[in-house]
Chain A
Amino acid sequence: MIETKKLTKSFDGFLAVDQIDLHVPEGEILVMLGPNGAGKTTTVRMLTSILRPSAGTATIAGYDVIKDAAKVRSIVGVLTEHHGLYARMNAQEYLEFYGELYGLTVEESRARFLPLLEQFALDPYVKKRLGEYSKGMRQKLALIRALINNPPVLLLDEPTSAMDPESSIMVRNAIKSLKREDRTIILCTHNLNEAEELADQIAIIQKGKIIFNNYLNDVKKSLLGNPIFEARFLSEIGDWSPVDFPGVYVIEREKNSIKLEILEPEESNPKLIQVLSHVFNLISFEEKPRRLQDAYLEAVNLNGGKASHVNQP
C-alpha cells in the first residue's frame, strides 16, 4: 500500500531524509520512531506530496506522490504535527469545510463526523469555538479531520501528544479499530509504549536514515536477542541443565529459579514445562518482558546516537 524506494530529501545541502525504503502492506501499522529532527515529519510531508523528493520514489496505493499528487491527497488522511484548527470556527463548521474540500456534501460530512465526534467524546462541544478547546480536544478534532474523507491510508504525526491518559487510550483504541478496518497507517511518535501497543512494523529513523526497520517481534529479537524465560520452583534445581532440549540455554541460575534463553519457544516450551513441573515442582514459567524501549536504545546506541529526545516510560 505504501512503498518508498531510496526516498531522499535535502534542503540546501542538508540531507533531511536519506534513501529511505519502506514497505507497508494494506492493513498494517508502521510506527516511525526517532529523535526530534530525525526526518519523520519530512518523510510524512513527502508522502502527502507537499515536499518534493530530491531523489527516489514513493507510491501510495500505486499512485506516485509526484505525478498523481492530487489523487494521493484524496486517499490519504493526515494528522499534522500542529493541529492547525481555525479558532473562530466551531467543530461542525470546521469539519463541514474540510468535508467540502474532499467533495462531500454537508449531509455526507455529517454522517461521517458525527459518530466520530461521539466516539471521541467531543459531541457535547460541537458548537463551541475551536479557540476554546483544550489541547487534547484540538488534537482529537484534528484526528477526526484526518478521517473525514474515510481515507484508506492514514499518516499520523504524534496523534496522542498533549493528551491526558484517558484521551490517549481513546485515540489508541480508535487507531486499533482503524487497523481492523484494513487501513494502512504510518504513525510517528516519541511514545514507546504507544509504539509497542500499536505497531506491526517499527522503523527507527536517525539523522534521516532508517537505522532499523522490521516487524515488532523481529526488532526485539534482532536487537535484544532471543526470548528469555524465567522458571521458579518449590524445590532446589541443583545443577540441572536442559541438555535434552536443543536451542534452550541457561542464562542465570539460583537456588529455586532459572533463566533460560529459548530459540524456538513455540516448539520447546510445552515439553520443557512438562519436564520442569514433574521434576522440580514448577511454580511459574513466564517470559521476561523485553521492552521496545530497550530495543530502541540499543538501536540508537549501535548507531552512535543519543536517544534523549524520546520519552522513556
Chain B
Amino acid sequence: MGERPVMSTSLNPVFIIAKREIKDQFRDWRIVFPILGLTLFFPFLMNFTATRLLDFVEQYGASIVGERLVPFLFMIVGFFPISVSLVIALESFVGEKERGSIEPLLNTPLKDWQLYVGKLISSIVPPLVGSFLGMSVYTIGLVINHVRLPDASIMIQIIVITIVQAVVMVSGGVVVSSQATSVKAANLLSSFIVIPMALLIQGESIVMFWGNYSTLWWAALGLLILAVLLIRVGLAHFNREELLGREIDVLNFRWGWHTFLNAFTRSAKSLGQWYRLAVWDSLKRLKGSLVITLILVMVGIWVGVRQTQNFGITFNPEDMSQIDDKIRDILNIWPVGKIGPIALIFWQNFRVVLFSLVLGLFSFGILGIIPLFASVGVTGYLMGLLQMNGMPIEQYLAFIVPHGIFEIPAAMIAAAAVFYIGVMLATPNAEITVGEVFIGAVADWCKVMVGVVLPLLLIAAFIEAWITPRIVMLLFS
C-alpha cells in the first residue's frame, strides 16, 4: 500500500496552503470588491484630491503643504488595501475552525509552522497586491496630471513601511485567529491591532508633514521587530489541540485568579518558604534578562555622558558656590523622621515601574526597558556635566551612590522582569495555553515586585530622603 514521503522540511506545503487560500480569496466578492475599490477608485480620488489641493495651496504660496501632501497620500493609498489583510488574517484559523475545515487539514502531515506560515502568506499577498496596484494607479495619475513625483527614496521608504505594516497587521491577526474561539471573538480582539495601527498612521502622518523622513526608517525598523516577535509568538503558541479543543468564549475570572495565585505563591506556607520557593526561583529565571538590562544600562550611561558633547552646559561659578545652601534647603525641607518625602520618592519610583510594565505589555517587554534606559541616560548626562564643570568624582557620586545601591538594582530587576514577560510569550510551550503563559509571566513580575523591588525601593527612598543629602552636605562643607 502506498506510503508517501513526508515533506517535513520542504517549503512546498507552505505554498500549497498559500496558493489555495489566495485562490479562494479571489473567489470571494467580499474580499475582491473592497480591494478593487481601494485599488482603482480610491487612488483616483486621492489623485484628484492631490491635484486640486496643490492648485489651491499654490495660490497662497504654501507649496510646501502640497509637497508634503503628495507622499502622504501615496502612503494612505497604500495603507487602505492592506487594512483588508487584517480581516483575512483574523478569519484564517478560527474561520476554518467554525466551518469545520481545519480538522482535515490538521490530519495531514503538515507541520505546524508550514500551516502557520502558509496562512500568513495567504493573508498578506492579496492586500499587498492591491496596495501596490493602488500606489501604481496613484503614481500614474500624478504623472498624467504633471504633478511632481516625490523623491524615489521617499517612495521606496513608503513602500517598505507599507509592507512592514501589512506584515505586522497580518501576524497580529493570525496570532489572534489561532488563539480565538470564534470569528466574533477574533473581531473583538482585533481592536488591540486596529487602535495601535491607527495611532501609528497618525504618528507617521505627522512625521511626513513635518518632513523628517529619516524617522520613518526607525518606525519601519520598530515595526519589523514587532512583526518578527508577533510571528515568533504565534508559532510558539500554535497548538493543534487548543485550536480544536476550545469551543466557547468564557472569561473565567476564577480560573485566572487561581492560576495567578498558584504561580504567585507556589503553595508556600510561610514568608521564608515563599522567598525560597517562589521569589528566588523567579529571580533565577531573570538571569538572561538581567544581563541584557545591565548591558542596556551601561549603554544608557554612555549615551548620556556622550550627550554632554552636544548639549554641554557650563555652570555659573556663583551657582556652584551656592550649592551647599541649596542642599541645606533640602535638609530643612526633608528632616529626618518626616515620612512625606519618603512616600513621595517611593511613589515616583513605583509609578516609573508601573509605566515600564504598561509599556512592556504592549511591546513584548521591549519598551519596558525605556524608562530605565532614559533614567540612566539622564544620570549619565548629569554626571558628565558635573565632571565637565570640574566637580570631583567623589562629590557627584555622593548624589547617587548611597540610595543608588538599592534603587539601581531594583530598577534593573523591575525592567528585567518586564522584559521577561516578552521572553515567556515568545518561548514555545506546548503544555500550556498562551493565557496561562501570560498569567504566569505577570505573576512572576508581581513576585519580583513584592518580594524584591518594592522593599528595595522603599529602603532607597528612606536613604534618598534622610541620608543622601547629609552625605552630600558633609562632602561639600
Contact = CB atoms under 8 A, between A and B. Distances in A.
Interface string B27-71: 110000000000000000000000000000000000000000000
A151 B6 CA distance: 13
Given A52-B430, A70-B111, A88-B24, A103 B5 contact: yes
Interface size class of B (residues with CB under 8 A): 20 to 34
Interface of B: 1-8, 12-13, 16-17, 20, 24, 27-28, 99-111, 240-241, 244-245, 430
8 contacts: A11-B245, A48-B107, A49-B240, A73-B109, A80-B103, A101-B17, A103-B5, A151-B1
A50 B108 contact: no
Interface in A98-113: 98, 100-104
Given A149-B2, A150-B2, A84 B241 contact: no
Given A50-B240, A183-B1, A73 B104 contact: no
A50 B27 contact: no
Contact of B6 (A49, A50, A85, A103): A103
Interface in A61-91: 70-71, 73-76, 78, 80-89
B104 A152 contact: no
A80 B6 contact: no
A145 interface: yes
**9 closest A-B pairs by CB:** A82-B100, A84-B101, A150-B2, A84-B100, A74-B109, A78-B107, A101-B108, A152-B1, A80-B103
A142 interface: yes
Contacts of A49: 240
Nearest to A94: B20
A88 B32 CA distance: 14
A88 B241 contact: no
A272 B27 CA distance: 72
Contacts of A82: 100, 103
A80 B100 contact: yes
A103 to B, nearest CB: 5
Given A48-B107, A51-B244, A101-B110, A88 B6 contact: no
A50 B3 contact: no
Contacts of A97: 16, 20
From A50, A52, A183, name the one whose CB has the most chain B CB atoms within 10 angstroms: A50
Contacts of B1: 150-152, 181-183
From B4, B5, B8, B110, name the one whose CB has the most chain A CB atoms within 10 angstroms: B4
Contacts of A98: 104, 108
A87 B95 CA distance: 13
A87 B24 CA distance: 9
Given A98-B104, A151-B1, 16 more contacts: A50-B244, A51-B241, A51-B245, A70-B109, A71-B6, A74-B5, A80-B107, A84-B100, A86-B24, A87-B99, A88-B28, A145-B104, A149-B2, A150-B2, A181-B1, A182-B1
